[in-house]
Structures are given as structure tokens and as C-alpha cells.
Amino acid sequence: MSRVTGLHHVSVLVSDTARALAFYHDLLGLPVVTRPGLGFPGAWLDLGQGQQVHLLELPGAGQGGHDRHGGRDAHMALFVDDLDAMLQRLEQAGTACTKSRSGRRALFCRDPDGNAVELVERAR
């Protein structure tokens, strides 16, 4: 019987690829990888171990209203190696963050289009 064995990629709708890259590549540090010509703007980012984030530019993306805390919204969760350092980096860049309400070493923020991103500290 076939089974799911892992995550290949998650796609995120963005209104401006360059602005999204300033968050995902410049701020979070995800490397940009080659993307095939798909006939619309976007970018692919590497998470390692064959996993990627695909930014798909779509006019009007990010115009919905969202609660500040992303834990009760559709979101992606990414591992980080130092949650405190990442929180400091995000706050210095003016990105609002909230800690996980579960008490875990995790926090939530939103990209420039309002997509929720959870950052979870990998157990050392």
C-alpha cells in the first residue's frame, strides 16, 4: 500500500514576489532555487532535505483580514535552530510576532501578504 512519506513543497500566494523575497530570503534566510518558466511571477525557496516553499504571485493576494496571531489560521511551520535569535531578527525588521499559546518554543508572524508563518525551535 502506498503512503505519504514527507513534504515536497508548500505554495504561498503573494502579491509582489520581490517584497515576499525580502521576507523569506533576506529576513528568514531561505535560499532561492531554480524555478521553471511557468508564465507567471514567483520564486522557489529551499528548506533542505528536498523540501521547498513556492511563492506564487497572484494579483490581489493578501487582501483578506487576519487575526494578528496566526495559530488559528492556515499557516506553514518551519524549524529554526535558535528561536530567540530569530525573534530578535524579526523584531528588528519590524515584523510583529506572537509566542505560541501552547507553551512550546514557537512563535507566529506574518509575511508581507498576511500569510501566517510558524517558527518552531527544533529540540537540541
Residue ranges of the domains in the chain? 9-121
pLDDT top residue among 74 and 21: 21
CA atoms of 43 and 86, how far apart (whole Å): 23
The pLDDT tens digits for 88-105 are 999 999 999 999 888 889
Q: What is the mean pLDDT of residues 101-118?
A: 90
CA distance readout (Å), 84 to 2, 11, 80, 106, 121: 40, 27, 10, 10, 9
Q: What is the DSSP string of 52-76?
A: EEEEEE-TTTT-S---SSGGGS-EE
Given 3.50.50.60, 3.10.180.10, 3.30.43.10, 1.10.3720.10, which CATH number is that of 9-121?
3.10.180.10
Please tell me the pTM assigned to this model: 0.84
Residue 2 confidence (pLDDT) above 70: no
- pLDDT tens for 29-75 read 999 999 988 889 999 999 999 999 999 998 878 776 666 667 667 78
